[in-house]
Structure 1
């Protein structure tokens, strides 16, 4: 199988090969400044033909909040379910024995903890550290990470992405914090793409929507970021469709899925 992606004109050209689409949000359904209606039209057409769509996002918002935000932007609900990195983090926090967490990231991301039996504390008093984004000020970040490592914290990272340039603005994400923690020898648990946890939960949601298990070879992951959406889908045993003009990554060794490419998601 060739390493490079196969260019296709629209999702409809390959839709018959798949029962489930796991679709990214930012960069596919909207790009922060504008909604991309052809993308939701393509997802709607896939569902109308009997397919199941689950949105998969690295946002620090729980899925219910993301659904509300998409609706408020005028994006029609052309999906059956959705799962976010925040949803996966909340599941892990509920399953764990920790009751105290230190949060690294913007204050607005603390919606992740809403309704959970978790007290947010300083790093010295916490049982683990949760990183949802790059902090607004990082003067003390290295010191905080050093304390977290000394106390044996796991770092839950909701967004493994590192940075993105929008116009002339360089945005920094939680993945940069995770990289710094790994250099200290700390343990990082990624709840977002390309990690396996979020894909496992997305596939479970798809199975519930369809009323039966879905084999990986019948799943197509769609996204615009090669290192997150495409690599994660291929590592999970799915096929992948990369949208946009970013350069593709080499196919992972032993990946059984197909790799497609198009400029934007259309049917």
Structure 2
């Protein structure tokens, strides 16, 4: 286990890091929104960072195209001036789907994610060929069909059948779980993990995997007119195996939000951070945050 004897500092707000960074790559779920509402203080802090010349790109494992994610965020009240751009795992999955033009795909996930396939059709100029699992040439996994009533183990037989056909799975959201309000539900990553354990080939496009960080840095370079040095970029997120691990793999600093998805583990009873719990998460992520914060404040 990684030694955390020298404690990771806890900051009260982003002002404590002012001047150290030119850009923020910010997680969305658990940091800016809970799926039902946005967090005004977080939005205000990011706006202040931008007002002082910084750039903000949201980096999300949402399984929907960028434009659809943007509409969802604005629809629940997140101000447009809180960020410059965003990149989603769904957008990167979409680009891979388009590159497979002509191949038939099976959608493993809820109907609400149909926007991903409709957008693929728009960009291709013809409907994407969606078929059943017995006819498919690849699989796009966006989640469980009934996330509030099912668990990943319920899919073992279905996944085994896909593996028997040696189908590649595109995982549009590597998250294992996500909090929606007070509920915690399984995501596409939980199914992809089980498929990989069976020997199935899985392509992951979101955090902690490299493609989404490369895409985010491309967006920053476009906004800035030139690449932003990695030492001047900080990632902010609440997931140890996604945000913290991904920042570490990308060579970026990370501010780890402690009141997010790991809140009950890190702060049992709402108390101070449990050092042993923090050590376990750092060890699991294989990366150490530059700072901790309960939430995003300026």
Normalising to structure 2: TM-score of the pair? Answer: 0.81
Sort the Cα spacing of 1:111 and 1:166 in 2 relative to 1 into closer, same or farther, 3 A: closer
Deviation at 1:170, TM superposition (A): 4.2
What corresponds to 1:259 in structure 2? Answer: 290
Q: Answer yes or no: is 1:250 the counterpart of 2:250.
A: no
Q: Answer yes or no: is 1:205 the counterpart of 2:215.
A: no
**Aligned to 1:74, what secondary structure does the other structure show?**
coil
**Aligned to 2:207, what secondary structure does the other structure show?**
coil
| Whole-Å separation in 2 of the counterparts to 1:170 and 1:183 | 23
Higher helix share: 2
CA contact (8 A) 1:160 1:173 kept: yes
Q: Answer yes or no: is 1:82 the counterpart of 2:96.
A: no
- 1:21 corresponds to which of 21, 24, 28: 24
Sort the Cα spacing of 1:70 and 1:165 in 2 relative to 1 into closer, same or farther, 3 A: closer
Deviation at 1:146, TM superposition (A): 2.2
- 1:154 corresponds to which of 154, 164, 168: 168
What corresponds to 1:104 in structure 2? Answer: 108
- After TM superposition, the structure 1 = structure 2 runs for residues 108-127 of structure 1, keeping only pairs within 5 Å, are 108-116=112-120, 117=124, 118-127=128-137
1:168-188, Cα deviation, whole Å (9 max, x unpaired) = 744111112112211210111
Sort the Cα spacing of 1:139 and 1:219 in 2 relative to 1 into closer, same or farther, 3 A: closer
CA contact (8 A) 2:233 2:252 kept: yes
C-alpha RMSD of the superposition:
2.3
Deviation at 1:26, TM superposition (A): 1.3
CA contact (8 A) 1:98 1:127 kept: no
Deviation at 1:29, TM superposition (A): 1.3
Higher strand share: 1
Sort the Cα spacing of 1:168 and 1:209 in 2 relative to 1 into closer, same or farther, 3 A: closer
**Aligned to 1:250, what secondary structure does the other structure show?**
helix
| Whole-Å separation in 2 of the counterparts to 1:171 and 1:15 | 35
Q: Answer yes or no: is 1:227 the counterpart of 2:237.
A: no
Deviation at 1:135, TM superposition (A): 2.2
Sort the Cα spacing of 1:167 and 1:74 in 2 relative to 1 into closer, same or farther, 3 A: closer
Deviation at 1:96, TM superposition (A): 3.1
CA contact (8 A) 2:34 2:179 kept: no
Deviation at 1:222, TM superposition (A): 0.7
- 2:47 corresponds to which of 16, 39, 44: 44
Deviation at 1:143, TM superposition (A): 3.4
**Which blocks of at least 5 consecutive residues in structure 2 are unaligned?**
267-277
CA contact (8 A) 2:29 2:35 kept: yes
